[in-house]
Structure 1
Amino acid sequence: MEQEKLGETGWRGSREGWLDAAYESLVEAGVDAVRVLPLSRRLKLSRTSFYWFFADREELLAALVDLWRSKNTGNLVKQTESYAGSIAEAILNVFDCWLDPKLFDSRFEFAVRSWAQQSPDVAREIDAADTVRLEALQAMFIRFGFEPFAADVRARTIYLTQIGYISMKTEETLATRMARIPKYVEIFTGREPTAGEMKRFCARHGYLPSADAAQDAAQ
């Protein structure tokens, strides 16, 4: 009730609040749900308050693309450049993205890729992001001595596998995914992660392996 009164008397919220509401609408129901009136109702704000922060809906949509680009592409590239003592550890740094939505938001990724199917401009953004991400993964392999063509193929194998996970909305328990990760690393790099590398990786994600995890993953 207090929030409604503030809305009625001209409280405008914030740019971040409108953008957060747009994000939630996008990931829940697609880009057609990202419209000013439904967002104002969601926020319990007057419709006119939107225009203090955005010129129009198109500017809001552009801000969503900027947010996606900064979060998903920006963080993925940073992870490929993070310190690693081996290629296996470097891949585990990248895998942090798949397990931590603060680094890489799979729901956001799916929503933007779905949006791209009806927007040529967003489709071009997707193509550009794919190129940047693949180049970053390839450069990571090259740093560890892989020749460029092999590095490119391995980069594509990793990336397309994960985009497939996202597109299929694959769901796994943390235990199942963690049990499979050492084999993914071996397949992608030709090298198994050491026990120490896996221990550090698991610790970053607050995971304690159980004796049954590998058996569960194989089923």
Structure 2
Amino acid sequence: MTDRQRIQDPSRQTTSEEAWLTAAYEVLTAQGVEAVKIMPLAKRLGVSRTSFYWHFKDREALLEAMIRYWEDKNTGTLVARTEAYAENVFEAVFNLFDCWLDPDLFDSRLDLAIRNWARSDPALQARLDQADARRQRAMTDMLTRFGYDAEEAEIRALTMIYTQIGYISMQIHEDEAKRLARMPAYMEVFTGKRPAQSDIDRFMARHR
């Protein structure tokens, strides 16, 4: 059936693809992938089960759409932040830190849900490994652009990755102001250098 036929069919229910994905996201992040099922989602949305098939071939198609969303939002955005313009290494790493502070850039709940899901899904684990490798390469390349040799850049990138995965996996709920205040110290740990006050001020200004 073409998109035009779907739109013109008067029996088609109006629940959007985005609504199904949002409902699936809420269930996935709260209860895990096993709970993401068509009928419960339909009840959650207040529509019939058949309306699901206007948007997705089957449950696997819905799950695949969620994985692609995670790849684009989390890994794609993180890589883009490492490639953003920066005058020095501090501005570059602060650009990356934006991901840890702004859920519109990087969704920690979704990252945790994907990691938990991958434990029982070898195919997804392979994609997660690829995503982590892509993040590592991007962060390593970011540091080498600012004079770190390849080995040191890789170790510092891994330190940042493992720290953030630790935050996610341990589900740490830290006071936002306190976490923000600690960012200059994290910067010194991750880069081995103390940022100038002007670098800190620019970063703080966009998060207050």
| TM interval, short-chain normalised | over 0.9
Instruction: Give 1:133-172 correspondences, 5 Å limit.
Output: 133-172=135-174
- Structure 1 unaligned residues grouped into runs of 5+: 1-8, 207-219
> What is the letter of the counterpart of residue 114 of structure 1?
N
Percent of pairs identical after alignment? 51
Is the Cα–Cα contact under 8 Å of residues 10 and 46 in structure 1 kept in the other structure? no
- The answer to whether residue 116 in structure 2 is matched with residue 120 in structure 1 is no
Paired residues of 1:80 and 1:93 also in contact (CA < 8 A):
yes
User: Which whole-Å CA distance do the structure 2 matches of 1:46 and 1:205 have between them?
Assistant: 43
* Matching of residue 25 in structure 1 with residue 27 in structure 2: yes
Query: Deviations 1:2-26 (Å, cap 9, x if unpaired)?
Result: xxxxxxx752411111111111110
Matched, 1:16 2:21: no
Conserved? CA contact 1:10–1:49, under 8 Å: yes
Partner residue, 1:193: 195
Report the Cα offset of residue 118 of structure 1. Answer: 0.8
The match for 2:93 among 83, 91, 94 is 91
For 2:174, give the aligned amino acid.
E
Aligned twin of 1:36: 38
Tell me the alpha carbon deviations over residues 39-75 of structure 1, each in whole angstroms, 9 at most, x when there is no partner. Answer: 0011111100000110000000000000000000000
Q: Deviations over 1:83-133 (max 9, x none)?
A: 111111111110000000011000000000000011111111110000000
**Aligned equivalent of 1:108:** 110
Matches of 1:196 and 1:49, distance apart in 2? 54
Structure 2 unaligned spans of 5+: 1-10
Distance across 2 between alignment mates of 1:138 and 1:146: 9
**What is the Cα-based RMSD across aligned positions, in Å?**
1.0
Whole-angstrom CA distance in 1 between matches of 2:137 and 2:108:
20
Letter paired with 2:51: S
Match of 2:8 in 1: none
Runs of 4+ off more than 4 Å: none
